Amino acid sequence: MATTHFDRTTLAKRFHALSDPTRLAILSLLERGESCVCDLQGALGAAQSRLSFHLRVLREAGLVVDRKDGRWSWYQIVPDAMRPLQDALDGFVAGVGVGAGAGAAVPGSAASLVGAPRTAARATRASLGRDLPVVGMADATGCCG
């Protein structure tokens, strides 16, 4: 299947979204399930404006979606959002370029990316030099209740 310009633009946006340690940390927290912005803010120790910027980049790249519940915004990872990235990397590993790796994983390829922001999250936690707390429903802080 040929890769269109739009596909490459989408891939570039997604790879760009993954190129920041804060955004990788956000994905790490969201892999545990939907989280309120206030939970993410507390877990990352980030200012609301900074967090909003990073969430917007992730949302515009198609990696996360949000929903409003009253005055609160909740975010979650888009299922299979990493699949196009895996396919592109598989194509490069196989030496055939973007769009050629659709479907089957190539041995030694980027197959670990699908459903596995966990690996990137571990690297992010290690690079931050601390463990990121577990976040989820806001019963601990009561901010979203």
Distance (Å) of CA 120 to CA 81, 105, 124, 125, 130: 15, 19, 6, 9, 14
Domain presence at residue 96: no
- The CATH number of the domain holding residue 71 is 1.10.10.10
Helix axes 37-44, 48-60, angle to 10 degrees: 120
Domain presence at residue 63: yes
Domain presence at residue 58: yes
How many residues are present in the chain?
145
Q: pLDDT tens digits for 23-71?
A: 999 999 999 999 999 999 999 999 999 999 999 999 999 999 999 999 8
Q: Is the pTM of this model over 0.75?
A: no
Domain presence at residue 100: no
Q: Is the per-residue pLDDT at 4 higher than 50?
A: no
Domain presence at residue 109: no
Domain presence at residue 87: no
Q: Is the per-residue pLDDT at 138 higher than 60?
A: no
pLDDT at 65: 97
pLDDT at 84: 87
pLDDT, mean of residues 112-129: 45
Domain presence at residue 61: yes
Q: How many domains is the chain partitioned into structurally?
A: 1
Domain that holds residue 69: 5-78+117-128
| Res. 144 pLDDT band, cuts 50 70 90 | low
Q: Which residue has the tokens 């802080």?
A: 141
Domain presence at residue 40: yes
Task: State how far the Cα of 100 lies from the Cα of 32, in Å rounded to an integer.
Answer: 31
